[in-house]
Chains A and B, each alone.
Chain A
Amino acid sequence: MILYLLRRALYAIPIALAVGFVCFMLVQIAPGDPINAIVPPDAPGDVVEQVRRDYGLDKPLPVQFGLWLFKVVQGDLGRSLATGRSVWSDLSTAIGNTLMLAVCASLVGFVMGCTLGGLAGTFRGSWIDRAATGLAVAGVSVPHYWLGMVMVVIFSVQLNWLPAMGAGPGGSSDWAWDWEHFQFLVLPTITLSVIPTGIVTRTVRGIVAEIMNQEFVVALRGKGLTTFQVFLHVVKNAAPNALAVIGLQLGYLMGGSILVETVFSWPGTGLLLNSAIFQRDLPVLQGTILVLAMFFVALNLIVDLIQAALDPRIKRA
């Protein structure tokens, strides 16, 4: 068991390095001289040369990667071209906002998905099953940025119940746990939760259906347990896989919320990425992608470890 955990944790190191390399290459594949990603285009020639030497951009690519990596590990992600501030200072507030949105959406998705999937798996072939499966397919096929717009049209424009944009009254982005602020979270959360809802529903339905076919369920029924008591046993068996799926979904949502954040002007990493793309601010683009991808790598590792801890059968695989 401990050997498995160690092996899995060690395996994350080369992956993290390779992910770092891909992020490093992002600036290299960008059209034009990578120096343009560091200095503004109107900088005088001698300054450009100075910066080129300072950043080691006159050295071969592997050395450059080493230098870049050395800085990144120390938390230096470079400076934004547009604002001149360090990338990390903008990123740290944005990540908090994105994390909040992603966690809320994952929770909603997990609860909805488990309920729908559990019901569908238990009552297979019934109208509940068909409705849940239909909802799941719709959830994974809906362009969520469009769903966000539809939500805004219905709940903000037509009914005027909830705010359409931002993360706080008067455009402020200081968060507080009251209804004034919370209402800004409602529409983005629901919009973002449709994908995990769909995926968790599908997975849980499959798992529950498979478990319901196993002999121990028949044995429990034969013993005289009520449907609810049997259901509890099924939940215990389905939990590890369902948790793994939702854990990964949290990572996908962190990376995938860019479109939803754009629709709702939610001040997270997505909005940061969007403006970085718009202004071709490559250091911000690179830094944000790197941090989100590293978060995903870490999450993958944690999910695997938790799953192994919950389900002793895993470590044999």
Chain B
Amino acid sequence: MSTAAEAELALQAKTALAKGQGYWAGVFKRVRRDPVTIACALVLLVMFLAILFAPLLAPHDPYQGSMIRRLRGLQTAGYPLGTDELGRDMVTRLLYGGRLSWFMGIVPVVLAFVIGTTLGVTAGYMGGKVNMLIMRTTDVFYAFPSVLLAVAISGALGAGIVNAILALTLVFIPQIIRVAETVTQGVRNLDFVDAARSSGASGFTIVRVHVLGNVLGPIFVYATNLISVCMILASGLSFLGLGTKPPEPEWGLMLNTLRTAIYVQPWVAVLPGACIFVTSICFNLLSDGLRQAMDVKG
């Protein structure tokens, strides 16, 4: 971030304080002035509504194919985005496929956020042996490239949505633990925590009242960034045949089954990947926007 932008942020924070506005009002105000973040949020909202109401919007049945109209091109009458290798409507499959892709992109991050924050804040606040135990275990998982770890765990457990979610959660927990531990250590020695401790507050109360409020923001921003990664990884697992199983529609799996069709209908075959890309980049930019608006360092 440039110094000019930082100066402006500081100024905004000051005026917000002078007007008696809260922190979140300031964040909201800054987000509203950021056209990229707004655009991404809108795209994600539209996508979310579309996949939520997929049964109402979808023109055809997601499982019912037809041998006669396999692999039609774009702009076929009645099938604006063509049909897949089993003659199923692509618009319908993409709408339904988004449900599983989003589910598998978000659920592991939420689970990892809850578990990782608990462990990370514990490690950061308690210090000593507890910290040692948690952080050294984290180091071991850091010794694996994340794609490899996800493939290893779900490869050993076998294909399936639950196994894929389990594997991805395990991949993200250490990353969140590290962030949570770092920010908690930063807060732990601040004056107001000392004040609370000297006035007799218990460790649990201090964490709940004084620490969590100050560390959840940065961890949350980091977690939103992980959604983008998680979505790519989850679809990647399905692409390898490790996540969803056919005939369930999921963007990664659709990309895999359509891979053989790139010589027949190349542009139809790459559609599911475009959906993953758009979702992932929007989550990424949204996370960047939030980071700036919430003034989170790092």
Does A141 sit at the interface, judged by CB under 8 A?
A: yes
Majority-rule SS of A interface residues: helix
A141, A278, A280, A300: the one contacting B277 at CB < 8 Å is A141
Q: Are B143 and A293 in contact (CB under 8 A)?
A: yes
Residues from chain A with Cβ under 8 Å of B269 in the complex:
149, 153
Query: In the complex, what's the smallest C-beta–C-beta distance from A286 to chain B, in angstroms?
Result: 8
* A15 CB, min distance to chain B CBs, angstroms: 5
Q: Which B residues between 200 and 245 are near A, CB-CB below 8 angstroms? A: 228, 232, 235-236, 239-242
* A26/B147 in contact, CB under 8 A: no
Q: Are B241 and A142 in contact (CB under 8 A)?
A: no
Does A149 contact B270, Cβ atoms closer than 8 Å? yes
Tell me if A213 and B3 are in contact (CB < 8 A): yes
Q: A22-B140, A153-B266 are in contact. List 8 more A-B contacts (CB 8 A).
A: A15-B143, A18-B140, A19-B140, A141-B228, A142-B280, A143-B252, A157-B262, A251-B145
Q: Quick one: CB contact mask for B235-265 with A, threshold 8 Å, 1 for yes? A: 1100111100000000010010001001100
Cβ of A152: which chain B residues have Cβ within 8 Å of it? 262
Q: How large is the interface on A (under 10, 10 to 19, 20 to 34, 35 or more residues)?
A: 35 or more
Q: Which residues of A contact B65 (CB under 8 A)?
A: none
Complex CA distance for A256 and B151, rounded to whole angstroms: 9
The answer on a CB contact under 8 Å between A145 and B236 is yes
The reply to whether the CB of A158 lies closer than 8 angstroms to some CB of chain B is yes
User: Which residues of A are found within 8 Å of B152, using beta-carbon distances?
Assistant: 23, 26, 285, 289
**Residue in chain A with minimal CB distance to B154:** A277
Digitize A125-161: 1 where CB-to-B-CB distance is under 8 Å, 0 elsewhere.
1000000000001101111011101101100011000
Instruction: Provide the B272-283 mask, 1 if CB < 8 A to any CB of A, else 0.
Output: 111011001101
How far is it, in angstroms, between the C-alpha of A193 and the C-alpha of B270 when the chains are bound?
Answer: 20
Interface segment out of the listed B22-30, B51-59, B92-100, B155-163: B155-163
- Residues of chain A within 8 A (CB-CB) of B232 are 141, 143
Q: What are 22 contact pairs spanning A and B, CB under 8 A?
A: A22-B141, A30-B157, A141-B232, A142-B280, A145-B236, A145-B239, A146-B255, A146-B276, A149-B270, A149-B273, A153-B270, A213-B3, A252-B145, A252-B147, A259-B147, A259-B239, A274-B240, A277-B241, A286-B156, A289-B152, A292-B145, A296-B143
Identity of the chain A residue whose Cβ is nearest the Cβ of B152 in the assembled complex:
A289
Smallest CB gap from B258: residue in A: A149
Residues of B within 8 A of A276 (CB): 155
For B283, list chain A residues within 8 Å (CB): 141
Nearest residue, chain A, Cβ from B276: A143
- Which of B148, B232, B236, B288 counts the most A-chain CB atoms under 10 A from its CB? B148
Given contacts A146-B273, A153-B267, contact A29 B148 (CB under 8 A): no
In the bound complex, CA of A137 to CA of B286 (Å) = 11
Contacts of A293 in B (CB 8 A): 143-145, 148
Taking the complex as formed, is A204 at the interface, i.e. its CB lies under 8 A from any CB of chain B? no
When distances are taken between beta carbons in the complex, the residues of chain B under 8 Å from A185 are: none
Could you tell me if A29 and B156 are in contact, using CB atoms closer than 8 angstroms?
A: yes
Question: A186-226 toward B: CB 8 Å interface, digit per residue (1/0)?
Answer: 00000000000000000000000100010000000000000
Q: Which residue of B has the minimal Cβ distance to A154?
A: B266
On whether A273 and B155 interact (CB within 8 A), knowing A143-B235, A292-B148, the answer reads yes
Residues of A contacting B147 with CB < 8 Å? 252, 255-256, 258-259
The distance from the CB of A78 to the nearest CB of chain B, in whole angstroms, is 14
Nearest-CB distance from B137 to chain A (Å)? 8
Is the C-beta of A27 less than 8 angstroms from some C-beta in chain B?
yes
B50 to chain A, nearest CB (A): 20
- Determine if B277 and A143 form an interchain contact, defined as CB atoms under 8 angstroms apart: yes
Q: Report the bound CA distance from A276 to B146 in whole Å.
A: 19
CB-CB under 8 A for A300 and B148, given A141-B281, A259-B240: no
Beta-carbon contact of A256 and B156 below 8 Å: no
Task: For the complex formed, measure the closest distance between the CB of A8 and the CB atoms of chain B, giving whole angstroms.
Answer: 13
Most buried by A among B158, B240, B252, B272: B240
Note all chain A residues with C-beta closer than 8 A to B155: 26, 273, 276-277, 285
CB pair B259 A15 closer than 8 Å: no
Q: Which interface residue of A15, A26, A29, A145 has the most chain B CB atoms within 10 A?
A: A145
